[in-house]
Amino acid sequence: MKRKGLYSLLCASIIASTCAAQTAYAAPIQFEKATKVIKQEYNLNSLYDKNFNKYSIQRSPLEQRLKDIPLHPESFGNLKTTNDEDPLYEMEYNDDFDAANTAKFEKAMVGQLLPLYDVDMFKLTVPDKGVVLIGGTTNSTAIQLLFGLFQKDYAENNNLVYLGYDDSDPEVFVEAFRVNKPGTYYINAIDYDNQDDIDNNTEDDLYAVIPVFVDDVAPSKPVINKVDNNDKAVTGKAEANSTISIKNGSKTLGTGKTTSKGTFSVKISVQKANTKLTVTAKDKSGNISSPATVIVADVIPPTKPTINKIDDNDKVVKGKAEANSTVTVRANSKTLGSKKADSKGNYSVIIKPQKAGTNVYVYATDKAGNKSSNAVKKVVKH
């Protein structure tokens, strides 16, 4: 009764999640992207054709190995892989979460579903947020393969969301799951006709499930340190090992990679003050972050103003300074007046006439608050 009870619980869990997703699933773009990986980049059909096609006249080396070893549950774990391209083999007892076999991404888990009410569980470590695709296939019409991805003890929350399935290929059934929290999950497989107490599986009836991970989550927006008009590099933090791109408008100023800790330093040409720079991060899967922006700060003081001749009758000090800067005139530690230079840098500051021999000091302050050095002019006698 324990085996049948566990089987019934798993069967109900798979059916419930499938039915819920059929009405809730509404993100076909991401599902199609993930399905492409499992159907094209890792060809499940080739596995079926080479290893599980019972109608083949010549058995493949893998199938011959399977035929040469008695595949009873208690002996299944004795099989060892000798090639990285070989599938992984079910190892009984694996009927509950604590006894689950270890699955690997893009590796086939090959198994049997016998005796009656057999449940196979495989634990899978999901490294990051993204989509997990599980493709399933079988060599036998005796197996009505039903499988899914679950949290331990069938916990239900937003960490794992069933997206839907693709049954367009008659030999491969693919299910997609959104993983919102990295961690350990479980692939569970059963023979659906066991619910009717049908025990028609033999040692020749095999199935395989293959998990594939699709990273479709964009990196977080980069954090940019202050950039000024002296800087020859942009620094900051972004996703570890991502590629950073620095742009001024549509022009790329530089690219570079973040370290394993996420820091980056990308060389650029010196940019003018108030230029808007855009920084993005692209991960190894090609996902691009939303852009972060920074305005180039002005830290360069204006050049020293020039001063026209001043005599002891003059009520105006004239000269040239940085365009649109604020020009200040002082004498004897006292401010005589200030005025903004025009767009061409010309200034004219009204003052009280100063005695001959007085030193008049003039400096310019730009809108960023940078202050020039003092220019000095001695007042002459009219």
Percent composition of the chain: helix, strand, coil (DSSP 3-state, to 5): 20, 35, 45
Residue 352 φ then ψ, to 5°: -80, 145
**Coil, helix or strand at residue 67:** helix
Domains of the chain: 2-214 (2.60.120.380), 223-295 (2.60.40.10), 306-378 (2.60.40.10)
Residue 375's contacts (CB-CB under 8 Å, 6 or more residues apart) are 304, 305, 306, 307, 319, 361, 362, 363
Q: Cα–chain-centroid distance for residue 295?
A: 25
pLDDT at 378 over 80: yes
Per residue in 51-93, pLDDT tens?
444 333 233 333 333 333 333 333 333 333 334 445 678 888 8
Per residue in 281-314, pLDDT tens?
999 888 999 999 999 999 999 999 999 999 999 9
CA distance 224 to 256: 14
Number of neighbours of residue 336 by Cβ within 10 angstroms: 18
**pTM greater than 0.85 (yes/no):** no
Q: Residue 32: its pLDDT value, please?
A: 58
CA distance 345 to 364: 10
pLDDT at 108 over 90: no
CA distance 138 to 205: 8
CA distance 98 to 117: 18
Which range has the worst mean pLDDT, 137-151, 191-205, 225-239, 245-259?
Answer: 191-205
pLDDT at 105 over 70: yes
Per residue in 109-126, pLDDT tens?
888 888 888 889 999 999
Per residue in 215-264, pLDDT tens?
888 999 999 999 999 999 999 999 999 999 999 999 999 999 999 999 99
CB 63 within 8 A of CB 52: yes
Which pLDDT band holds residue 208 (cuts at 50, 70, 90)? confident
CB 171 within 8 A of CB 78: no
Q: Residue 84: its pLDDT value, please?
A: 47
CB 148 within 8 A of CB 188: yes
CB 120 within 8 A of CB 137: no
**Cis, bond preceding 89 (omega within 30 deg of 0):** no
